[in-house]
Chains A and B, each alone.
Chain A
Amino acid sequence: MMEVEFLILLLISSIIAGFLGSLTGLGGATVLVPIYTLFLGIPMAYATGASLISTIATSSGTASAYIKDRITNVRIGMSLEIATTGGAIIGSLLAHWIYEHHLVFILFIVFGVVILSSVYPQIEKSSLELPKPMKPDWTTKIFQLYGEYYDAALRQEVKYYGVRWWLGEIVMFFAGLISGLLGIGSGALKVIGMDWAMNLPLKVSTTTSNFMIGVTAATSSSLYWLFGYIEPALAGITAVGVIIGSYLGTKVLVKTRNTRLRLIFIIILIFLGIEMIIRGVSLWT
């Protein structure tokens, strides 16, 4: 029964990916695609298609909880989705062009670079407090980039506002593009867009990023579907596995101080990033 073994392997991989993804806020796809392509011999197009589908599942599954917490800023998220969905369309079309021209090595290399560059914010994350306030600009008012939430760790009501909406949009366009190109949620880039460009508190950035990922991934998935990159059994089992994994992740997250877990995750990321680049280069030459 080869197929049952293969299914179990897929399920276990996607549970692990979902678990790690939810612990770190990167989403399952970042480790899922490398595992699928490097170790399970799944073609890149199917691996990215399945991971996009699983990204929608986790985003929708957890967004409902975050919206309840009222930390997610729905307005800011929605305004940035103009750029991420636009970027996702361009990215998916670009991915299709790359597959048509048998240039898949490019995707391996870009994927490796994206993974390695998401290591830095992982290291940085622990030291971040609330952002230094900046002067509100014209976009703060027009796009109503403000809100407040109760921070359970600081035990206070935090009032905040965002600035430089246009800069956020530019970063988000690239986040959407990478998402469509590589089949990931590109949560790390989205967080950079809100945290660095728009000066929003990290908690708002991460939860709002999670909220946005589903809409971005839905845009790319429908195009991936059209191109024939979604294998139903693979995508189905991955969605179920990642949901289970991320559910377990959120349970563990509240109980543990996760510095050690974060270190393990960083090592995994570095390893997978380098492996992806090596694979890409070997496919190229």
Chain B
Amino acid sequence: MDMNDVIGYALRIGVLISISLIIIGFILLSTTPQFSELTSPNSRFNTSVVKPEEVFRGIRKGNGVDFILLGLMVLIATPVVRVVLGIIQFAMQRNVIYVIITLIVLFNLLLAIFILPLII
């Protein structure tokens, strides 16, 4: 299979998983008192205090918000996976300059996701 197809499928699968998690999340959420709190213009939900391990714990409890949050995380991770696959693709073509360029892009992404949160 062509690497372009792999990338195409990876993107599509990422979006499908994410949308499914979000929809499941809304279904679970709709029966809880949290529902009206979150679905109003005055919601005060703050993602800055959300920790990934809490999200995974919430998933096991069937917590709707955590399903939605995981769906959003998968969505944000999809382009990261895409960039990583890009590095593999250029490495297979032995295109050195583009391996370096794609590594810089990946660095920027990881800077925003993992390094800046430690500094700010």
Enumerate chain A interface residues (CB-CB to B < 8 A): 2-4, 6-7, 40-43, 46, 53, 56-57, 59-61, 63-65, 67-68, 70, 74-75, 78-79, 81-82, 85-86, 88-89, 92, 142-144, 214-215, 217-237, 239-240, 243
Contact = CB atoms under 8 A, between A and B. Distances in A.
Nearest to B113: A222
B108 A61 contact: no
Contact of A218 (B40, B48, B109): B109
Max count, chain A CB within 10 A of own CB: residue among B8, B15, B35: B15
Contacts of B69: 232
A225 B111 contact: no
A67 B72 contact: no
Contacts of B79: 56, 59-60, 214-215, 217-218
B102 A233 contact: no
Interface in B55-104: 65, 68-69, 71-72, 75-80, 82-83, 86, 89, 95, 97-98, 101-102, 104
Interface of B: 4-5, 7-9, 11-12, 14-15, 18-19, 22-23, 25-26, 29, 35-36, 38-41, 43, 45-50, 65, 68-69, 71-72, 75-80, 82-83, 86, 89, 95, 97-98, 101-102, 104-105, 108-109, 111-113, 116-117, 120
12 contacts: A59-B79, A78-B83, A78-B86, A78-B102, A89-B112, A218-B76, A218-B109, A220-B112, A227-B48, A232-B72, A239-B71, A243-B19
A85 B95 CA distance: 22
B115 to A, nearest CB: 10
Contacts of B23: 240
B82 A214 contact: yes
Q: Which of A43, A61, A217 gathers most chain B CB within 10 Å?
A: A61
Given A3-B40, A65-B8, A215-B83, 13 more contacts: A40-B41, A60-B78, A63-B11, A67-B8, A78-B102, A81-B105, A88-B112, A222-B76, A226-B117, A228-B47, A232-B68, A235-B72, A243-B15
B76 A89 contact: no
Most A C-beta atoms less than 10 A away, residue of B14, B18, B25, B47: B47
A282 B21 CA distance: 40
Contacts of B102: 78
Given A3-B39, A57-B18, A231 B45 contact: yes
B18 A233 contact: no
Given A89-B111, A215-B82, A230 B101 contact: no
Contacts, number: 179
Contacts of A233: 26, 29, 38-39, 43, 45, 65, 68
Nearest to A96: B120
Contacts of B7: 64, 67
A60 B105 CA distance: 17
Contacts of B8: 63-65, 67-68
Contact of A60 (B11, B36, B101, B104): B11
The 5 closest A-B pairs by CB, nearest first: A228-B48, A85-B108, A64-B8, A228-B46, A218-B79
Contacts of B97: 142-144
A79 B41 contact: no
A225 B109 contact: no
A65 B19 CA distance: 18
Given A78-B98, A85-B112, A236 B72 contact: yes
Contact of B76 (A82, A88, A221): A221
Given A56-B79, A222-B112, A226-B48, A240 B22 contact: yes
